[in-house]
Amino acid sequence: MHSDDEKVVRFENVGLRYGLGPEVLQDLSFTLDAGSFHFLVGPSGAGKSSLLKLMYLALKPSRGLITLFGRDVATTPRDQMPELRRRIGVVFQEFRLLKHLSTFDNVALPLRVAGIREAEVRRHVEELLAWVGLQDHMKARPPTLSGGQQQRVAIARAVIARPHLLLADEPTGNVDDRIAERLVHLFEELNRLGTTVVVATHNENLIRSREYPVIRLNIGQVDFTTAQDAMIPPRQEAG
């Protein structure tokens, strides 16, 4: 899927501001190796969602350089951007499911866009929906599902095509601890197949129970730390 030495994500002196406001993210410089797994933590309002949006190309930085899969995002031709985006799976906080489609069809969408044969689509989707406990809801449309069920549909859709980079924004926020463990295990299985994974979460139990490195975001800047140290409250702005 990748060469072992490839940096899937590279930020160099990246800053982000909305409109004329102050910078939300400041001078971010870091890399994520192919096949790595990181938790992303930080207090509410620290900019976690904004950082993920920069990684999945929903936002452009105000300054600095972002490289994905070895390609400078700013100079990548527009007609090549869809191919770049297809290598990225995203679990959004607000789910973004298509309300008129069934659970099955929502999850099948990335495979159908990629031109996978329908027999293969059916096999993979049914297998994954069984894994996330939704085998009895394949024909249900999103408005009839609970928040936790919709979350699982969104996660299944994000991982079905085995993206090279998976970005998950609070993926366990609407499910109980048992389902949360199962979902993170799904991310880990994908990671073992070579996917680079970043999971933004407030769930301290998930972070403590694993030894993955942690990206801690605070006051617009990042540092890399261990799961244990990440639980120590970060410094706060004076005043």
On whether residue 191 sits in a domain, the answer given is: no
| Six token digits for residue 94 | 């607000």
Rg (CA), the chain: 18
* Position with higher pLDDT, 173 vs 52: 52
7 pLDDT above the threshold of 70: yes
What is the domain extent for residue 139? Answer: 97-162
Return the pLDDT at 238: 39
pLDDT digits (tens, 9 = 90+) for 75-114: 999 999 988 999 999 998 888 999 999 999 999 999 999 8
pLDDT digits (tens, 9 = 90+) for 134-165: 999 999 999 999 998 999 999 999 999 999 99
Return the percentage of the chain with pLDDT > 70, whole number.
94
Q: At what angle do helices 177-192 and 147-159 cross, to 10 degrees?
A: 0
Distance CA 190, CA 211 (A): 17
On whether residue 106 sits in a domain, the answer given is: yes
On whether residue 51 sits in a domain, the answer given is: no
Return the pLDDT at 2: 44
31 pLDDT above the threshold of 70: yes
DSSP string, 79-124: GGHHHHHHTEEEE-TT----TTS-HHHHHHHHHHHTT--HHHHHHH
Q: What mean pLDDT, rounded, does the chain reach?
A: 90
Quick one: pLDDT band at residue 231, thresholds 50, 70, 90? low
pTM, two decimals, is: 0.88
On whether residue 157 sits in a domain, the answer given is: yes
Distance CA 150, CA 208 (A): 26
Helix, strand, coil distribution of the chain in percent, nearest 5: 35, 25, 40
On whether residue 132 sits in a domain, the answer given is: yes
On whether residue 75 sits in a domain, the answer given is: no
Return the pLDDT at 173: 82
On whether residue 4 sits in a domain, the answer given is: no
56 pLDDT above the threshold of 70: yes
On whether residue 186 sits in a domain, the answer given is: no
Q: In what order do the strands lie in the sheet with 196-200?
A: 88-91, 165-169, 196-200, 37-41, 214-218, 221-225
Return the pLDDT at 233: 57
| Six token digits for residue 37 | 């797994």
Number of domains in the chain: 1
Residue 112 amino acid letter:
R
